[in-house]
């Protein structure tokens, strides 16, 4: 099995790396755009119900879109790790791979929590509980999204170290 991944990566490595990088850019870039471009723009909407409805819609679209790229990151990351045979390379590189995987796992778990919290906010909104829904969205925008952005930068940095060696 090990030989399959090494041969596959030898033949298709540049496509795998491209998909991995572009997926990370889209996932992290999408979060950055929502946090620093869309959210401040939404703050100018005076009607709290309309503002919340738009934020919920944007977040749903972002999360559904980002899920595709999270899956691509996981698949291409596994192919790179196995195809570059990090397990049989320097122990420090193998450890760095596991650290990077841990960071992406934390991001994925945080993403799942954001997804569930957003859906709960949607249910609260539909029941007419605008205050609770707004509080949930505030938590996502103020804490959870910035955490994933920060973790994304850390994971990208580790990826640069791995590819640069």
User: pLDDT of 15-28, one tens digit each?
Assistant: 999 999 999 999 99
pTM over 0.85: yes
- pLDDT tens-digit readout, 134-165: 999 999 999 999 999 999 999 999 988 887 75
The span from the CA of 69 to the CA of 25, in Å, is 9
| CA-wise closest residue to 132 among 145, 143, 142, 118 | 118
Per-residue pLDDT reduced to its tens digit, 95-133 = 888 899 999 999 999 999 999 999 999 999 999 999 999
In terms of Cβ atoms closer than 10 Å to its own Cβ (0-12, 13-18, 19+), residue 98 is exposed
The secondary structure of 31-48, three-state, reads HHHHHHHHHHHHCCCCCH
């Amino acid at each position: 099995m090990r030989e399959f991944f090494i041969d596959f990566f030898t033949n298709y490595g540049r496509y795998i790396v491209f998909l991995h990088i572009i997926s990370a850019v889209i996932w992290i870039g999408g979060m950055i755009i929502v946090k620093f471009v869309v959210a401040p723009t939404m703050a100018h909407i005076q009607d709290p119900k309309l503002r919340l409805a738009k934020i919920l819609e944007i977040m749903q679209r972002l999360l559904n879109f980002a899920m595709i790229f999270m899956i691509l990151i996981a698949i291409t990351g596994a192919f790179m790790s196995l195809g570059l045979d990090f397990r049989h390379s320097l122990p420090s590189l193998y450890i760095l791979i596991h650290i990077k995987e841990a960071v992406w796992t934390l991001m994925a778990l945080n993403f799942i929590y954001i997804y569930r919290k957003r859906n709960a906010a949607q249910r609260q909104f539909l029941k007419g509980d605008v205050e609770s829904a707004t509080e949930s969205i505030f938590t996502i925008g103020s804490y959870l999204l910035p955490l994933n952005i920060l973790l994304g930068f850390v994971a990208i940095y580790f990826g640069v170290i791995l590819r640069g060696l």
